[in-house]
Amino acid sequence: MADRYSGYYEHSLDPKGRITIPSKFREQLGKTIAMMRGRNNCICLYSLSEWNAVYEKFEKIEESDGEAYDQMRKLLATSVDDNEMDRQGRLLIPTTMRQYAGLEKDVVVSGAGRHVEVWNRDAFFRFIEET
């Protein structure tokens, strides 16, 4: 069965750049989490099983597709990182991803169907209002 995530939680980024993953999401995500830059300047978190399913879709793009193939290869090579959650349920967000998403202190961790998203708190609520 595919992962399904819903709800949102407000948290703070600690001085080391870690967030606490809500207990509701921890078991499904597993210890090792694939992180990818998402749309709207958020970070997408995937369980490894879900990430493998997403990656398989990317792999179906044929090298002969030229530009689409090059774009996907570059996207995967530059925007995905794996990290492990510690025993307290904290996940280190790499500096480049924190900068991309504008994560400084106040963050929102939200369910987004097949993955979890990490947002700058203000950007999350602005996105919700606009949507």
Alpha-helical runs (H) found in the chain:
23-29, 48-59, 67-79, 95-101, 121-130
Q: What does the pLDDT read at residue 115? A: 93
2 Cβ partners below 8 Å, 6+ apart?
50, 53, 114
| pLDDT tens per residue across span 54-109 | 777 777 766 666 777 777 766 766 666 778 999 999 999 999 999 999 999 999 99
Q: What does the pLDDT read at residue 64? A: 67
Of 46 and 70, which is predicted with more confidence? Answer: 46
- Geometric angle at alpha carbon 41, from 96 and 115, rounded to 5°: 95
Question: Which of helix, strand or coil describes residue 105?
Answer: coil
Q: What does the pLDDT read at residue 63? A: 63
CA atoms within 13 A on the CB side of 36: 19
35 Cβ partners below 8 Å, 6+ apart?
43, 44, 45, 46, 80, 81, 82, 83, 93, 94, 97
Q: Which helix (H) or strand (E) holds 45?
A: strand 43-47
When mean pLDDT is compared across 34-43, 64-73, 89-98, 122-131, the lowest value belongs to: 64-73
